[in-house]
A and B are shown apart, each in its own frame.
Chain A
Amino acid sequence: MKTLGLGSVLLAVLRREVSLALRQKGEVLTPLVFFVVIASLFPLGVGPESALLQRMAPGVLWVSALLAAMLSLQRLFATDYADGSLEQMALSSTPLGLLVVAKAISHFLLSGLPLVLMAPVLGLQFGLDGRALGLLMLTLLLGTPTLSLIGSIGAALTLGVRGAGVLLSLLILPLYIPVLIFGAGAVESDAAGMGAGGHLSLLAAMLVLSIFFAPIATTTALRISLE
């Protein structure tokens, strides 16, 4: 038998997650549809006045993306926990931190990236122009991996717990607020002519910080949940 390096193991986990998701397409598409539905609810609630919608658009789309990303977080560890695969992962010779990062990357690919691709379509509904749409996509591209990483901490903490879904939202949403502020703020700031460079840099900084620290918290939380 040939040996595998850590990179190959990471790819194996990614491949497994993606193939599992492709076999259960409903689970991947439901959060995306949820995103569209929520973003469409806001104009129904506040009225179709275009100036108001244009101002609201970045915030509304970001909040909808947050909620949709959170819906799919419950799936991250729950199925593996239920059938015992998570135990085997924790007991394998591959570092658990690497597996957690692989899972977060797969979560981004399966739920974050579709949101990024869907957002411009919804942005058109709200009347955003081309430049704002591009910037919105960029902020979502930088922000959704951070959401996956921070969300994995919450998913690990609420494994096998009563009412895990709602509890996860309560735990994670306060931690998402900085990403929301800078993500939506970037588009608004650019529309006001002040440039989005600072916001984007901060989003990137938060992404880098969460890549380094979130896996540590998630591994600790996973080992606690597996006790």
Chain B
Amino acid sequence: MFCFPVETVFPLEKTLFPRDHARFIRSRLCTWRDVISAHSFNQPFDLKPASTLSFSKLGCNRGGRQLFQNVDCVLEAGRWLYVAGANGVGKTSLLRMVCGLAPIEAGDILWNGTPIHAQADAYRQDLCYLGHLNALQESMTVQENLVFTAALGGLAPDAAQTRAVLKQFGVPGREHQLVRHLSQGQKRRVALSRLALSPARLWVLDEPFVAMDEAGVRMLADLIAAHLTQGGLAVLTSHQQVDIGTIPAQMLELRA
């Protein structure tokens, strides 16, 4: 798709504006190179500069009601944001706005200083979202689900890697079982195991500790702590008080 030479596409430019042609071609090549490199997913964490996520006067309006307004926050690399608030105050809406799924009616969300809607593709590469739904196809096996989700992110884990990840998340030996035969908690663990296979810097997790037993909660907390120490960021909502390693939470209390 990106292979045909640029000159065949813009020959008219060359004849009309020869002086600007070189500059024009160079700018086009840069754009295309960026597009191609945006799809080469395998850049390791440490080579990228430290990231920040910030909210600037963020407001949310759902069904005619003003849920929250003028929310400001800055989250640095290696820290996690704990979004707290009563039921219905807009925590899930906020997380969906961070992901770019919900439109931002008031204010801005900035990733590395740029608004997220201005860098949609690059932002999505750095993002891993886990909502209330597990995003697992019931009629497919666990292995197939994990391989597909990784493929969407442009990666192809081999069988050994998926086995290791499943073992880490406490569902060992289940690769070839259909998802519909797993229990609720096991499905949640498989859904969470996507985090281990994802190269994203920003993890947005909506109530990840629901349906997890104590061992699971500890395991997930350790995983998030490891991610944060590597320079990642996390945004969490939870009704339980959880310690993420020794890293203190940055609190964001949403009030109507």
Interface residues of A (CB under 8 A from B): 1-6, 8-9, 12, 16, 19-20, 23-24, 79, 83-85, 87-95, 99, 223, 226-227
Contact across chains for B135 and A83 when beta carbons are under 8 A apart: yes
Tell me the smallest distance from the CB of A8 to a CB of chain B, in Å: 7
- A9-B155 contact given A20-B139, A84-B134, A91-B129, CB 8 Å threshold: no
Contact across chains for A3 and B42 when beta carbons are under 8 A apart: yes
Contact of B18 with A by CB under 8 A: no
Contact of B222 with A by CB under 8 A: no
User: Which one of B79-87, B100-108, B223-231 is at the A interface?
Assistant: B100-108
Contact across chains for B135 and A87 when beta carbons are under 8 A apart: yes
A8 CA to B148 CA, complexed, in Å: 11
Within 8 A of A (CB), among B197-238: 197
Contact of B166 with A by CB under 8 A: no
Contact across chains for A88 and B151 when beta carbons are under 8 A apart: no
B interface: dominant SS: loop
Interface string of B109-153 (1 = CB under 8 A from A): 000000000000100110101011111111110001001111111
Contact of B245 with A by CB under 8 A: no
Contact of B154 with A by CB under 8 A: yes
Cβ contacts under 8 Å, A16 to chain B: 137, 140, 144, 148
A-B contact pairs, 13 of them (CB 8 A): A1-B161, A3-B155, A9-B151, A16-B148, A83-B137, A83-B138, A87-B101, A87-B131, A90-B101, A91-B99, A92-B124, A93-B38, A93-B39
Cβ contacts under 8 Å, A79 to chain B: 137
The winner among A2, A4, A84, A92 for most chain B CB atoms within 10 A is A92
Contact across chains for B139 and A24 when beta carbons are under 8 A apart: yes
Contact across chains for B137 and A227 when beta carbons are under 8 A apart: no
The residue that B153 contacts in the complex, of A6, A83, A92, with Cβ under 8 A, is A92
Contact across chains for B139 and A23 when beta carbons are under 8 A apart: yes
Cβ contacts under 8 Å, B102 to chain A: 227
Tell me the smallest distance from the CB of A210 to a CB of chain B, in Å: 18
Contact across chains for A93 and B137 when beta carbons are under 8 A apart: no
Contact across chains for A9 and B152 when beta carbons are under 8 A apart: yes
A2 CA to B42 CA, complexed, in Å: 8
A93 CA to B38 CA, complexed, in Å: 8
Within 8 A of A (CB), among B20-72: 38-42
Cβ contacts under 8 Å, A88 to chain B: 129, 135, 149, 152
Contact of B157 with A by CB under 8 A: yes
Contact of B156 with A by CB under 8 A: yes
Contact across chains for B155 and A2 when beta carbons are under 8 A apart: yes
A112 CA to B151 CA, complexed, in Å: 26
Tell me the smallest distance from the CB of A3 to a CB of chain B, in Å: 5
Contact across chains for A83 and B134 when beta carbons are under 8 A apart: yes
Contact of B1 with A by CB under 8 A: yes
A226 CA to B127 CA, complexed, in Å: 17
Tell me the smallest distance from the CB of B80 to a CB of chain A, in Å: 19
Cβ contacts under 8 Å, B121 to chain A: 93, 95
